[in-house]
Amino acid sequence: MSNRRDFFKQSALGAAAMAFVPGLFAHPSNGTPKRFIFMHRGNGLFPKVMVPPSLSQHDMAREQKKESFEVDLGGHELPDWMSPLNAHKDNLTILQGLSGKMCTTGHHSWCSALGVFKANERPSSIKWATVDFELAKLFPSPMEHIELACFPIGGGNARGSLDGIAKGFSARGPQQPNYAFGSPKGAMEELFKSVSNNPDDQIKYQLQRKVLAFAAENQGRLAAGQTGIDRRKLSNYGDSINAIRERNRKVDAMGDVLRQHVPQLDKKYLVENLNTIDRQRAHSEVLLSALISGLTNVVAFTVDELAHPYTGIPGIENEKVNLHDLGHNKTIGGVEAGEIRNRCRHHHMTLVDTIVSRLKSVPEGEGTMFDNTMLFYFPDGGETHHSHGWEYPFIVMAGRNARLDLGRRYIRLPYHGQEGHKTLGNLYTTILNAHGNPIEHYGDFDLSLRLDQTGPIKQFLG
């Protein structure tokens, strides 16, 4: 290995070893932890496809004018592509009207939509930890945070490989990109390596532990002979290594639980050249195993991105769909762009249904794991293919113990520029405030708005 950066990339648990944040276990939560799943997709999410078709004529007129209103979803049909969520309507909120003009929009957004600032592919553009990492600090876990992705290969974040470990779409802190798993098989092997039945995996795992122990001791010895900034740097390296060792110790102590929840992936999910639809299904299984086992309480899942070569789409399974072409309304495999978008969104909702249904089946306290879970599905670039951040539609699935006043509602907030308008920053401020972080405002402000942009969305705090 040529340098310390290479060491960290290759050491214990691969990408997860990069997930150290100082004070990882310094903020223990009280009682049952809350869990958060951030599912985001590229190429925009049109606000018009979010609208229940059974709205009254009066409400539909308000919708078309983008006027603020809300209705109970109990008496309304969901859009066809959301049909997998019919059984979970009591937990569903369709949220419209949030803006994000302070974010990077257009073809690629990097970690903008989770961080609420302008970002690009350079780590130097990352201003602070993204909201998912802020929540992970509030509800500590051995792995802190896990990120899964269907990577782009022609721009965006990762380049070249669908199956590797590469920079993801979350950030651990200023100038600190997170690393994501592109391969469900790779994620499973790395996250559950400590309880693997494969002798080779166990040998590698024990060797990594010995390397970490040696490196920690060596960094301490080197730091003792230095002064000033060099001493601080070496001390920080040593602290990071020791934090990874402590995390591994906690994972080892979970061995019996982990063995019960190792993802049981069908052989078709373990092959090379996994198509996108199956990759998304397999990532969902890894996500569920990580949450149910207690490895993490926060997962970020990039279900697709503009430069991801989309394969396995129902009806055109053998086509490699270029999402950029789709954004320009090209017909592919004899199917119009709008219908392909619809099929992809419908599939995403089957993933949401799988996640919610599985968590509802796992007992926890006087209810189920889903009671303490929130899931967010949203576009990472805004309202269209060539978006400008005017709107970021959200689907929110919230368990009954959610600390936000949501559920069974279609909500359209005041549009950009209207009195009472809210941004992504307001939503994330609301979530953080409700769960113990008193931050006055999360994220950058929209300098084009002459409105007070600080604080939470009070109507969601009950």
pLDDT band, very low/low/confident/very high, at 272 (cuts 50, 70, 90): confident
> What number is the average pLDDT over the span 7-20?
36
**By the 8 A CB rule, do 152 and 307 touch?**
yes
Residue 98 pLDDT exceeds 90 = yes
Sign of torsion over alpha carbons 278, 280, 281, 283: positive
Q: How high is the pLDDT of residue 213?
A: 53
Q: How high is the pLDDT of residue 108?
A: 87
**DSSP element (H, E) containing 7:** helix 4-10
The mean pLDDT value of the chain amounts to 85
**Distance in angstroms (rounded) separating the CA atoms of residues 16 and 191:** 8
**By the 8 A CB rule, do 97 and 137 touch?**
no
Q: What is the pTM of this model?
A: 0.85
Q: At what angle do helices 184-191 and 276-293 cross, to 10 degrees?
A: 20
Residue 66 pLDDT exceeds 80 = yes
Count of C-beta atoms within a 10 Å radius of residue 325: 13
pLDDT digits (tens, 9 = 90+) for 416-447: 999 999 999 999 999 999 999 999 999 999 99
Domain 4-189+262-460 has CATH 3.40.720: yes
Q: In this predicted structure, which of 26-30, 186-190, 227-231, 391-395 has the lowest mean pLDDT?
A: 26-30
Q: What one-character-per-residue DSSP string does 58-105 give? A: HHHHHHHTT--EEEEGGGSPPPGGGGGGGGGGGGEEEEE--B-TTS--
Count of residues making up the chain: 462
**By the 8 A CB rule, do 375 and 37 touch?**
yes
Place of tokens 């006043």: 405
CA angle 170, 148, 248 (to 5 degrees): 85
Q: Where are the domains of the chain?
A: 4-189+262-460, 193-261
**Closest by Cα among 111, 178, 183, 108 to 145:** 178
pLDDT digits (tens, 9 = 90+) for 343-397: 999 999 999 999 999 999 999 999 999 999 999 999 999 999 989 999 999 999 9
Phi and psi angles of residue 347, each rounded to the nearest 5 degrees, phi first? -60, -40
Residue 304 pLDDT exceeds 70 = yes
Place of tokens 């049981």: 264
Instruction: Show Cβ contacts of residue 136 under 8 Å, excluding neighbours closer than 6 positions.
Output: 144, 145, 296, 297, 298
**Closest by Cα among 356, 197, 332, 188 to 274:** 188
Through-space distance between the first and last CA atoms of the chain, rounded to whole angstroms: 54
Above pLDDT 90, what percent of the chain? 66
Calculate the alpha carbon distances from 345 to 42, 161, 302, 378 in Å: 11, 24, 13, 11
Tell me the three-class secondary structure of 171-210, residue by residue: EEECCEEEEEECCHHHHHHHHCHHHCCCHHHHHHHHHHHH
Above pLDDT 70, what percent of the chain? 79
**Closest by Cα among 204, 194, 383, 192 to 293:** 192
**By the 8 A CB rule, do 50 and 76 touch?**
no
pLDDT band, very low/low/confident/very high, at 223 (cuts 50, 70, 90): low
Question: Position 299: which residue type?
Answer: V
> What number is the average pLDDT over the span 227-256?
60
Q: Pick the more confident residue, 86 or 211.
A: 86
> What number is the average pLDDT over the span 139-165?
86
Q: How high is the pLDDT of residue 287?
A: 96
